[in-house]
Structure 1
Amino acid sequence: MAITAPIATINDHSVRILAWNQIGSWLTYTDANGNSAIKYQFWDGGTDANSGFIWNDAGSGQLAANTTLEINAADLSQVWVRGGAAGGSETMWVRAFDGSDWGSWDSFTLTTIPNSRPVATISDHMVKFDQWTRVSNWLSYSDGDGEAATRYQFWDGGTATTSGYIWNDGGSGQLAANTTLEVAASEINNIWIRGGSAAGSETMWVRAFDGHDWGNWDSFTLTSQPNLAPVATIGDQSMHVGGWARASNWLSYSDPDGDAATQYQFWDGGSAGTSAYIWSDVAGGPQAAGTAITVAANDVSKIWIHGGSATGTDTMYVRAYDGQAWSAWDSFIVTSQNTSPVATIEDHSVHVNQWVRASNWLSSSDPDGDAITQYQFWDGGTAADSGFIWNDAGSGQQAASTAVTVAASDVSKIWLHGGAATGAETMYVRAFDGYTWSAWDSFNFTTVTNTAPVANIADHALHVNEWARVSNWLSSADAEGDTITRYQLWDGGTAGNSGYVWSDVGTGQQPASTVLEVAASDVPQIWFRGGSATGTETMYVRAFDGIDWSSWDSFTLTTTA
């Protein structure tokens, strides 16, 4: 059998600069006789100092160009190919020994791909005087090979003593102008840029290193400008006496530089005991007038304005701080106001000596929704027999031409009493809502003669011992619409066998020629009973309207067989 030499091949490969690859992962071996490889030889034809090379972990290290590296097949895993330090191509060779013969050399091209330089940029920025900014907040980095930055360099071209500068928290402090500051990428958060102490612009530079190459310098302009003060305003406000309002609901803030407010101050110029005032939930109470009240911006919702305890106006002030400057004070007027309540009583007529609860006629309202706390009444009638005001709260009849003050809860204890004689007089009422009295409302109080009611029962016949309910026969009326409150009945039949009046209310049969008086509500319990023998008798009825009794109305009760 013919002996056939083994074949070892490696395809062409491209690698990154300085990249390592195990050569065995690229190697293909075949032998027609089925013999295993015993040894391998490698040859590197790249002589440039920056070219790639072959490396043996088994002790010999880097293979010199144009020399042979021979290893046992068992040690193949210790042989590496490293990409060049710069881009370029070179030819390498490999062959195998199967114990009998060496195979032919197989050449392959190793290409080192040039490194894509990293790109670090910072856009132009404007900062305030002496303002600090972390460079990492502005820095943008990219790398065409996807490699991370390992180092950064900075350069400050501003040489004026008032210009901005670069600062390293990592120990070196302020970077001198026209010198390079180099830091590891891991320390980039230690690098700050500080705005100048005066207005002006300067050029700074940055570049990055990806482990292979430095990127180009990128220039950016740092402009230092003065801080523009913020503006805080509150428009003039009207509020209810004793009312509460959050200052933040009225407050408007703006800043030309876009800075957020960090603090606010309020000032109360009203020193009167009844004036409006400022209340701080942070400080726990009312704040003294004529002093600055400082509060963090995130606590401004805890500042309240309390309306005065009396109507009037107060001037207050507000200003804001943006972390660098206070705004001008903005003045605003707080007007404490109250809309007076309204109390009215319409003109009314009453009978002589009639009593009426004032609350039955009284109407009151308040536009602000305040509760009425007090009422006052005034009687303008000075005649001895005129109507008057009576107070059940203990003081009795009230003198004319004096104010009668009563708590709203006791207004039901105020009565109006009709005069002892007919006539008219003017009375007044007003209401208090806790802050102001309403205008007096006048009403005419007229005492008129009462028209007595009318009660009648028609003549009726009953059978012997027959019962009839009085309410079925009784009719009554009152010309003035007064309610009938009581009735009286009189039985004129004195014979022992005559008819009679009976009361279920408890008195039973009523004696003849005596008055039976009952409440109107008890009339259904009053009965007529026919006599125990036939005959006729005269009975009487009359009604009471709360003021006067009607005339007696007579009717005949006939008992039939």
Structure 2
Amino acid sequence: MANTPPVVSIGNHSLLSNHWQRIEPWLTYSDADGNPAQSFQFFDSGTSATSGYFWTPTNTHWAANTIIDVAASDLSDVWLSSGSVSGAETMWVRAFDGTDWSSWTSFTLTTTPNTPPVAAINDQSLHVNTWAKVENWLSYSDANGDPATKYQFWDSGTSATSAYFWTPTNSHWAANTTIEVSAADLTNLWIQGGSTTGSETMWVRAFDGSDWGSWDSFTLTTTNSVPVATIGDHSVHMGQWVTVSNWLTTTDADNDTITKYQFWDSGTAATSAYFWTPTNSHWDANTTIEVSAADLANVWIQGGSATGSETMWVRAFDGTSWGNWDSFTVTSTVNTPPVAVINDQSVHVNTWVKPGNWLSTSDAEGDTITKYQFWDGGSAATSAYFWTPSNAHWAAGTPIDVSASDLDSLWIQGGSATGSETMYVRAFDGTAWGAWDGFTVTSTNTAPTVAILDHTLNAAQWAQLVNWTSVSDADGDPITKYQFLDGGTDANSGYFWTSANSHWAANTVIEVPASNLSDVWVRGGTAGGSEAMYVRAFDGTSWSPWDGFALTSLPNHAPVATINDQTLHLNEWSQVSNLLSYSDTDGNPATEYQFWDAGTGANSGYFWTSGNSHWPAASVIDVSAAAVDDVWVRGGAATGSETMYVRAFDGIDWGVWHAFVLTTVV
């Protein structure tokens, strides 16, 4: 069966000059037998050097009247470029389906003219020496939608102080030089404002890959707002020094840093105020005084040596321009010295106080007090004194200089003993010292009060004085020690005891630290009666008055020791402590016992102790209360009865002998 050749067609098309178009989207292919295209051929009849042409990867500009073979699989790599100038030309295409070629199909490519792009920059203002990125000012448009590929700039400002262009390849482009910048590098193009104020014309144009646009001019104006320095009118005392920086106010609309100042003094009188700097201690009137901003703190004005007024001027420089002169009046006035007063004060001994809390100061002109002087007239070693961080104990008769800002750091300590002394204070207002004001500081102390009530003790009874003693101090001072005294001289009277002395003699002062008060005891006398004792307390400064109290010792009641009549078998033993009963009206314990055996028969009962296994009859047997368990009684070796005796001692008195009968039975 015969093959039907394929059919291929391309419609007529227009392209802007120098524009590219891929062929594949324009081409239509069909085959009645359904055969796919195997290859294509193209042909260009446009022989002009400015006409359009085909492009493939193997040939970037196919010559006119040349058959161009392209496999169907490479069709997407075939491009068509429009001409570089306007015009029309005929081109052809045909397809091959593997058996037959289609007929050649012609189409017309028309190149239309390019519209050049438009680049524009509006007139701009820059602060002196300020940088701006040109990209932020630039506007670009292209009627054909072509992007800019590059720009050119031109600067007509030839002054050495005018603005200029900057690129990474040239940090200062000379005036009247064409500066070409690719569109990709536009962000790296800067303009710096001039180093002085003024205006200049600059230009810009753009290239869209085909044509340059027209030059667009714009005016760049370098601006600067002059700084404003002002000083208000002021009054100073005659001879008073003031720093100008405390009066000066400076503003700059551009926020430029002030680099220097100029001052001018019109006061020509020999007694008028004047400027002072480290380089000139007395600037003449009608002289321009230039000072760097860094040295402004070193510019002073001294008030005149006589009263009067004069006009002075100031202006500032911001690195580019001087501001206008600002005038101000300085009036020299008479100074009234300040008045510092402290009223008489009382201070507790060794107590710290701030004299600043006592001080009142006034100044007729309202001058600020800058410092004070203090003086201490108390020369005694125990008198009050001044303290500052630089001297912990200022000697009497010494002027003490204290700046007003440090007044809170000045202290007075009350004397270590009571008494009065005169101190002084005066103030300085920056020009003159006021008169000394004397004030009395009295170091005071209220002696403590201590009391012990009258007490009664049994004979030889012990009591701890801490439980009897009450003390108070009106100043709240802690008690540091106590003294005691015993007025009872009788040998049997009560007495004081401490761990340092177990029996303090009468009429002896006993001194005890307050921390050891619990170590002081009193013992009742061994005979009935009363005696006077005394106590006083010390608060670290003063002793309280002696407080007397009566200690009454009650008479002693002798103890009672008894043993009931007993019966024992021949030679039977019995422990006496099991038979013994003891009592004491005063509650005193027994300290010792005595036993007596009246049985004289050879076979009678008898007492036994570890110290004597057979106490003979009619012998006094002394036994300490602690050893009473060591006393035994034995029944006789023969039956019969006998009388024995016992009595007890309570440390003061012996009780009466108590008789009991011991009967020996079989």
1:372 deviates by 4.8
1:331 deviates by 1.2
Which stretches in structure 2 are left out of the alignment for 5+ residues?
Answer: 1-49, 51-83, 86-113, 514-518
SS of 1:244's equivalent?
Answer: coil
CA distance in 2, matches of 1:35, 1:141: 48
Q: Equivalent residue for 1:522?
A: 627
Q: Equivalent residue for 1:478?
A: 584
CA distance in 2, matches of 1:375, 1:22: 97
Q: Which residues of 2 match residues 62-141 of structure 1 at below 5 A?
A: 69=176, 71=178, 86=197, 92-94=202-204, 103=212, 105-112=214-221, 114-123=223-232, 127=236, 129-141=238-250
TM-score, normalised to structure 2, is 0.60
Which of 404, 414, 423 pairs up with 2:507? 404
1:484 deviates by 3.1
1:518 deviates by 1.6
SS of 1:189's equivalent?
Answer: helix
Count of aligned pairs between the two proteins? 523
Q: Cα 1:181–1:528, aligned 2, differ >3 Å: closer, same or farther? A: same
CA distance in 2, matches of 1:204, 1:189: 18
Which of 226, 229, 234 pairs up with 2:338? 229
C-alpha contact (below 8 Å) 1:52/1:110 kept by paired residues: no
- Percent identity, aligned pairs only? 32
1:15 aligns with 2:135: no
Q: Which residues of 2 match residues 463-502 of structure 1 at below 5 A?
A: 466-495=572-601, 498-502=604-608
CA distance in 2, matches of 1:361, 1:55: 102
SS of 1:15's equivalent?
Answer: strand
Specify which structure has the higher proportion of strand.
1
Letter in 2 for 1:151: K
SS of 2:507's equivalent?
Answer: strand
SS of 1:121's equivalent?
Answer: strand
Letter in 1 for 2:565: D
CA distance in 2, matches of 1:363, 1:17: 91
1:438 aligns with 2:545: yes
1:211 deviates by 3.7
Q: Equivalent residue for 1:194?
A: 302
C-alpha contact (below 8 Å) 1:17/1:85 kept by paired residues: no
1:148 aligns with 2:257: yes
Which of 257, 265, 276 pairs up with 2:375? 265
1:542 deviates by 0.8
CA distance in 1, matches of 2:457, 2:565: 37
CA distance in 2, matches of 1:234, 1:468: 91
C-alpha offsets along residues 33-92 of structure 1, whole Å, 9 cap, x if unaligned?
99998x978585x99x9996779999x9986xxxxx465859x9999786595566x754
1:544 deviates by 2.0
C-alpha contact (below 8 Å) 2:119/2:213 kept by paired residues: no
Q: Which residues of 2 match residues 5-404 of structure 1 at below 5 A?
A: 9-16=119-126, 19=129, 42=154, 44=156, 69=176, 71=178, 86=197, 92-94=202-204, 103=212, 105-112=214-221, 114-123=223-232, 127=236, 129-156=238-265, 162-169=271-278, 171-177=279-285, 180-197=288-305, 204-220=312-328, 222=330, 226=335, 228-229=337-338, 231=340, 233=342, 235-239=344-348, 243-246=349-352, 248=354, 252-256=358-362, 257-268=367-378, 276=383, 278=385, 287=395, 291-292=397-398, 294=400, 296=402, 304-308=413-417, 313-322=419-428, 324-326=432-434, 328-337=436-445, 339=447, 342=450, 346=454, 367=473, 369-372=478-481, 375-376=484-485, 378=487, 404=507
1:516 deviates by 1.3
CA distance in 2, matches of 1:397, 1:30: 121
Q: CA RMSD in A?
A: 5.7
Which stretches in structure 1 are left out of the alignment for 5+ residues?
Answer: 64-68
Q: Which has the larger radius of gyration?
A: 2
1:319 deviates by 0.9
Letter in 2 for 1:206: V
C-alpha contact (below 8 Å) 2:372/2:427 kept by paired residues: yes
Letter in 2 for 1:473: L
C-alpha offsets along residues 224-270 of structure 1, whole Å, 9 cap, x if unaligned?
5636525252642253xxx42346478634544443535422222x7
1:553 deviates by 0.7
C-alpha contact (below 8 Å) 2:163/2:222 kept by paired residues: no
Letter in 2 for 1:406: V
C-alpha contact (below 8 Å) 1:6/1:103 kept by paired residues: yes
Letter in 2 for 1:512: A
1:152 deviates by 2.1
C-alpha contact (below 8 Å) 1:502/1:508 kept by paired residues: yes
Letter in 2 for 1:276: S
1:556 deviates by 2.2
CA distance in 2, matches of 1:128, 1:246: 38
Q: Cα 1:519–1:185, aligned 2, differ >3 Å: closer, same or farther? A: same
CA distance in 2, matches of 1:207, 1:174: 20
1:515 deviates by 1.6
CA distance in 2, matches of 1:197, 1:79: 59
Q: Cα 1:414–1:210, aligned 2, differ >3 Å: closer, same or farther? A: closer
1:333 deviates by 3.7
Deviates most, 356-365 or 243-252: 356-365
Q: Cα 1:215–1:337, aligned 2, differ >3 Å: closer, same or farther? A: same
TM-score, normalised to structure 1, is 0.69
Q: Equivalent residue for 1:66?
A: none
